Homo-oligomer: A and B are copies of this chain.
Amino acid sequence: MAWARQARRNGSKAAIREGNEKAILAAAEEVFADYGFAGATTSKIAEVAGIPKANLHYYFPTKEALYRQVIENIFNIWLAAAASFDDCDDPIEALTQYIHIKMDISRTHPKGSKVWANEIIQRAPMIQDYLETTLREWTTSRVAVIERWIAEGRLAPIDPRYLMYMIWATTQHYADFGHQISTLNNDHDLSEAQFAKAKDTVTQIILRGIGAIK
């Protein structure tokens, strides 16, 4: 389409759309994280995005459409992180890698994690389909890998599902409960050094806990 190419080049139409959509999505992630779906208001999102409320509805017809987009974004980020889990058949390396990436995402995308947490707490009224398809399949396949490692005597005989929940819980806690952690850190966000220490502690306890290291 000639007009779209030209638009991107000279800053009209498509370029404007792209910029505004980004601003709206960033604002929506923040407001949904802070208030949940029901508590978030489109006017607040528009205010944070710096546009009139009517424009928000021009780009995203409904609050729900906007919300689903935000949820999809964090879910895809996590899925991509999970891929690294498969790149390697050494349990120590694979799990270390996975825990580290999950911790890093909690640090870089805390808002998305919070939106997800809100959605699950509310029993996934909008995204139950993801849970029953993609997430269920992903989990089943990784459980199988861990079971094989156990069968090969490379890990202690723990139930892989509860290990997985533990990894999710612990890593996402640094995003979802980040405010509590900061408060207990004398009202300061964890420094880079502190966060590195947390990441290391989490990894060590889990790997030692499943008998992967001494």
Contact = CB atoms under 8 A, between A and B. Distances in A.
Q: Which of A35, A36, A121, A210 has the most CB of B within 10 A?
A: A121
A3 interface: no
Nearest to A173: B169
A201 B36 contact: no
B33 A36 contact: no
B38 A35 contact: yes
A187 B156 CA distance: 28
Contacts of A122: 34-36
A205 B173 CA distance: 18
A159 B211 contact: no
Contacts of A151: none
Contact of A136 (B35, B117, B184, B207): B184
Interface string A48-75: 0000000000000000000000000000
A131 interface: yes
Given A183-B124, A209-B209, A210-B205, A159 B197 contact: yes
Q: Which of A158, A168, A180 has the most CB of B within 10 A?
A: A180
Interface string A185-202: 001000000000110011
B36 A184 contact: no
Interface string A162-174: 1101101110111
Contacts of A172: 169
Contacts of A39: 35-39
